[in-house]
Structure 1
Amino acid sequence: MAMNEYYAMNGEVGIHYFDSMAGADEKLAPVVVCPGLSETAEEYVDLLQELAPRRCILLSFRGRGKSDTPKSGYNLAEHVADIEAVIESAGLTDFHLFGFSRGVSYALGFAHKHSTAVRSLIVGDYPPEHRSMPDGWAEDYIHNYLIPFNRTANIRQDAVWGIQRESMFIPLNQTLPMPLFVGRGQLEGSLIDDTHMNLYRQMSTAIQEKQYARSGHALESGDKKAFYRDVNQFIGDQDKFN
């Protein structure tokens, strides 16, 4: 499915995103995708293809991919504002919102603030909270993950240090009015435990849960096809009731 590139301006910060509006089925509500900590819009093109002919918007948060890297502004509010800028630029008023890993906290922050705009929320293996990062995290993340796995182009080191410096713990388990899909891995490394899952169950009366036997945190690895298929089915079901 064809997609075009755009930049939304959040103040002076340019936020890069892909939009598959051209050729999309206008009768289907769009999906906005919030990638994980060091992920970019490019890494979700296969999800866009899975959801076709539904319109998809894939964004790269500040400091990631082709988006700008400001010297400061890396707590929850600034990332929520990145989503807001993309939503305004794309002209969206009613859409499904997808978040994976730390992108879940950004998506939750947006959904709590703009609940009437979000038709449904999809959560990929992350608890309902925005986490602070301890001293030493940034150096470890850069040298033991980004550099060895050739991901320094995905997220700039200035952004990593900014996240460690500015992020604060913020609970995000307030009640949500929209339907909720929660996908969690069953293997070691999953970031959703039973306590987190109970919080999600208390957040929405219309919740669908899926567990993936071949995955820990990285649902997009061993269970990617099943995860994306389930997401597509869930979104389609929500459109039937709206």
Structure 2
Amino acid sequence: MGVSEYYARNGEVGIHYYDSRDEADERLVPIVVCPGLSETAEEYLDFMEAAAPRRCILLSFRGRGKSDTPEAGYDLKDHLTDLESVVRDAGVKSFHLFAYSRGVSYALQYAHAYPSDVHSFIVGDYPPEHRAMPDGWAEDYIHHYLIPYNRTSNIRTDAVWGIQRESVQISLDQPLQLPLMVARGQREGSLVTEEDLARYKRMSEAVSVKEYARSDHALKGEDKALFYADIIRFVNEQDGGTE
């Protein structure tokens, strides 16, 4: 699989992304992947391989992976501009949008702003909202998750503090005239409740729900192969093709 690395310029911030366009089938609608809170583009290279020969674009949002870490600029609008800069730099005009966890809020804001760009939307276990982070969250997240699980290189602590300081609660459940696939775990810890599922069903007339019996919020554990296969099947159906 041929994969190239690029940096999109978002003002003074460099946003790193991978693009498989060199060996992709141009007849297939590309997929843009928005990782979760502490995830990087590298953690979706296996998805890119599974989706081949479909073109995939994987980005690391600001403060994550190989992207720059500004002192400020960590609310929803700032992450939206990261995604805008990658889409613009990659020159992709219409695409499927796959987002996981907090990346869902960044991607939903993009879909609401640019509905004609998005061919379909894949939700990875997150409600249709952008969440404010309470006081104490950053310290707890750093010391009880990032450090113990060796993930401080995935997301810088400056970014975590910025997210707590700047994030504002916003509902993102306005109607979307496009197909949605909503994936959620069935075990305790999933972030998509029955009410959240109902909100998604009110947003679109075409909602496909995929549930994973061995998963909580972490859909890329035991159920990862099934989750990836469901995404690929879903986008194939939206393209009018088959498996």
TM range (shorter): over 0.9
Q: 2:214 matched to 1:202?
A: no
CA distance in 2, matches of 1:59, 1:231: 18
Q: 2:181 matched to 1:181?
A: yes
CA distance in 2, matches of 1:161, 1:63: 11
Amino acid at match of 1:183: A
Partner of 1:116: 116
Amino acid at match of 1:195: E
Partner of 2:23: 23
Amino acid at match of 1:177: Q
Partner of 2:100: 100
Structure 2, unmatched stretches of 5+, are none
Q: 2:115 matched to 1:82?
A: no
Map 1:49-60 onto structure 2 (within 5 A): 49-60=49-60
Q: State the Cα distance separating 1:148 from its structure 2 match.
A: 0.3
Map 1:160-239 onto structure 2 (within 5 A): 160-239=160-239
Coordinate RMSD, CA, aligned: 0.6
Give the SS at the match of 1:143: helix
CA distance in 2, matches of 1:210, 1:121: 13
CA distance in 2, matches of 1:29, 1:93: 10
Count of aligned pairs: 241
Give the SS at the match of 2:50: helix
- Write out per-residue CA displacement over residues 70-106 of structure 1, whole angstroms, 9 at most, x where no aligned residue: 0000000000110000000000110000000000000
CA distance in 2, matches of 1:236, 1:73: 36
Q: State the Cα distance separating 1:139 from its structure 2 match.
A: 0.2
Map 1:121-136 onto structure 2 (within 5 A): 121-136=121-136
Percent identical: 63
CA distance in 1, matches of 2:153, 2:2: 24
Taking structure 1 as the reference length, the TM-score comes to 0.99
CA distance in 2, matches of 1:2, 1:41: 15
Q: State the Cα distance separating 1:28 from its structure 2 match.
A: 0.3
Taking structure 2 as the reference length, the TM-score comes to 0.98
Q: State the Cα distance separating 1:2 from its structure 2 match.
A: 1.3
Partner of 1:43: 43
